[in-house]
Amino acid sequence: MNSLKTYIRNNDPELLRSLRNFKKKIINPIVVFFSDINLNIRFFFRGRKGFSSVPCLVPFMRLEFQKFGNVSACCTAFTKVKSVGNMKSQTIEQIWNGKKLRRFRKQLLLGQTCKVCMPNCGYLKIGPIFLKDICTDTPEGESLYNDVSHGRVKLNSHPLRFNLANFTVCNLTCVMCQSRAVEAQNNSIPEHVTKTLKNLSNYFDKKITLYLSGNGEVLARKDTRELLQNFDSKKNSKVDFQIITNGLLFQPRMWETIKHNNFTYVNISIDAATKETYKKVRRGGNWEQLMKALEVFKKAREEGKFSSVNINMTVMKSNFKEIPQFVEMARANGFNSLFTRIRGPFEDENIFESNNEKDIQELKKVLSNPNLYGEDVDMNDIRDYVPKEFHKIMGNHLTSIWYPSFLLKMPEKG
Ligand SMILES: C[S@@+](CC[C@H](N)C(=O)[O-])C[C@H]1O[C@@H](n2cnc3c(N)ncnc32)[C@H](O)[C@@H]1O
Ligand code: SF4
């Protein structure tokens, strides 16, 4: 079979194109049709017993706007369903209860995570979400509870979180960044981004979180910078902002123009505890400028402008030995620290996928230091390398951001 494919590929590109078209237009829809029937039958019988838990709630509460107008229900590193719609041709409302997202939810309710989730998904690591843990004393929690417990995949609830990862303009070119700022030189706002923001404004009277941003840099992007500067936080008082940033542009004058907003959480990605490592990993960054920005965050936190300030290290070969220093740096400023493993094909840096046992052993040694642990430190997805006795005393800042406390009583740490 393979040699036939190779033969056709090498000798008859026209035939190859027709076969691909046939597969895309005829075979794939037939497969989807029959697997939908199968899914619906199983869902019908399972649903009659009622649902008491779901492996993950994300596709029931969140939308993520990606590059080129694509929309996903979850972080694309965590899910196999890379797109549930596109803002170029659809609206948020059409996507939220559209066929693709309804199917995704159905598969989750049936526990078929292997079909829709990546095995290393951080949400799955939290463990199943029991419906009894949803806080029904908020209207948002009650609505979500009603939808999930009734096995609804067409939801009455609206999205509660929107991640604006749809424009990759950035001021840095970090060594491990996959969202590499292809549009860095071109800061004119794409049409789908403008359309998304306009559609999003329909939700500004609701309790929603705007999460800026999973791609690019929030203050280097013209759209998100202007959103923050022009946002009417008095009129839209239920909206809160969570920010993930390299921090550099949060300088005093800029901060004055955006500080009127209701920020809850900020994550500052630093990836180093020394100037040398910072320069190597955060290419284009400036350590002194970063230190000035940290002062802005520190003061803002002391004034109660953020409920939580985290500094983040994407753990890789160049920086893992600096983990203890990083925790100290966070503590000296009154911040939490968060550690997340590097993902993707960065052979030199990705110690988790390069099968280099020596680096992993060294990492385990670094992580065996008891001084590292406390509520202020979240080892997130490198916790597999942390001795078990420290798991109970670690914080879980990231997961409490993913599932805010007004919505969910956090599952036990383990
Ligand atoms: C893509 S950045 C966008 C937001 C902002 N520019 C920043 O640097 O925080 C979002 C987060 O992804 C992390 N990140 C970048 N490349 C990564 C990779 N290959 N694996 C895991 N995390 C990565 C960054 O360190 C950062 O914390
Ligand atoms: S600052 Fe963030 S978006 Fe920009 S290159 Fe670095 S990790 Fe990527």
Please report which residue ranges of 334-396 form alpha helices under DSSP H: 357-366
289 lines ligand 2 (CB under 6 A): no
Q: Which among 134, 159, 184 is the end of a domain?
A: 159
From the CA of 178, how far away is ligand 1's center (Å)? Answer: 8
**Structure token pair of residue 409:** 């009583």
Task: Domain count for the chain, please give it.
Answer: 2
Whether residue 120 is found in the same domain as residue 211: no
Same domain, 131 and 178: no
- pTM for the model stands at 0.87
Q: What pLDDT, on the 0 to 100 scale, is given for residue 411? A: 55
Atom of ligand 2 nearest to the CA of 215: 3
Residue 174, ligand 2, Cβ within 6 A: yes
> What is the token pair recorded at 328?
């100290």
* Domain final residue pick, 159, 181, 205: 159
Same domain for 336 and 234, yes or no, is yes
Task: Calculate how far, in angstroms, residue 258's C-alpha sits from the geometric centre of ligand 2.
Answer: 21
> Ligand 1 pocket: which of 169, 174, 175, 318 to mutate (most atoms <8 Å of CB)?
174
Tell whether 134 and 180 lie within a shared domain. no
Ligand 1 pocket at CB < 6 A: 170, 176-179, 213-215, 217, 244-246, 269, 271, 312, 314, 340, 342-344
Q: Which of 178, 137, 150 is nearest to 409 (CA)?
A: 137
33 inside domain: no
Place of tokens 């009894």: 132
In a domain, 29, yes or no: no
What is the pLDDT, as a whole number, of residue 40? 77
Tokens describing residue 53 = 């838990």
| Token pair listed for 108 | 């989750």
What is the rounded CA–CA span in Å between residue 173 and residue 289? 16
Domain assignment present for residue 27? The answer is no
> Distance, CA 177 to ligand 1 centroid (Å)?
6
Alpha-carbon dihedral sign for residues 322, 323, 328, 329: positive
365 and 222 in a common domain: yes
> What is the residue with the minimal CA distance to atom 8 of ligand 1?
246
Looking at the fold, whether 218 and 340 belong to one and the same domain comes out as yes
User: Does residue 10 fall inside a structural domain?
Assistant: no
166-184 b/e (C-beta count within 10 Å ≥ 16 → b): bbbbbbbebbbbebebebb
Are both 197 and 149 inside the same structural domain? no
Residues forming beta bridges with residue 79, ordered by sequence position: 117
Residue whose Cα lies nearest atom 3 of ligand 2: it is 216
Rounded CA gap, 110 and 38, in Å? Answer: 12
Residue of 288, 287, 211, 214 whose CA lies nearest to 243: 211
**For residue 315, what are the contacts with CB-CB under 8 A and spacing of at least 6?**
323, 339, 340, 341, 342, 351, 363, 382
pLDDT tens over the chain, length 414 residues: 667 777 777 777 888 888 888 888 888 888 777 777 777 777 777 766 677 888 889 999 999 999 999 999 988 878 888 899 999 999 999 999 999 999 999 989 888 888 888 887 877 877 788 888 888 888 999 999 999 988 899 999 999 999 999 988 899 999 999 765 555 455 688 999 999 999 999 999 999 999 997 788 999 999 999 999 999 999 999 999 999 999 999 999 999 999 999 999 899 999 999 999 999 999 999 999 999 999 999 999 999 999 889 999 999 999 999 999 999 999 999 999 999 999 888 878 999 987 788 999 999 999 999 999 999 999 988 988 999 999 888 887 777 677 877 788 765 544
* Ligand 1 atom 4 nearest Cα: 245
Residue 29: exposure state from Cβ atoms within 10 A (0-12, 13-18, ≥19): exposed
Question: What is the structure's pLDDT at 354?
Answer: 79
Q: Which residues contact 3 (CB under 8 A, 6 or more apart)?
A: none
Q: Are 270 and 398 found together in one domain?
A: yes
For the Cβ of 382 lying below 6 angstroms from any atom of ligand 2, the answer is no
Query: What is the per-residue pLDDT for 213?
Result: 78
Whole-number pLDDT of residue 414: 45
Of the residues 93, 124, 159, which one is the last residue of a structural domain? 159
Read off φ and ψ for residue 405, nearest 5 degrees: -65, -20
Q: In terms of residue numbers, what domain contains 210? A: 173-408
Question: Do the domain assignments include residue 32?
Answer: no
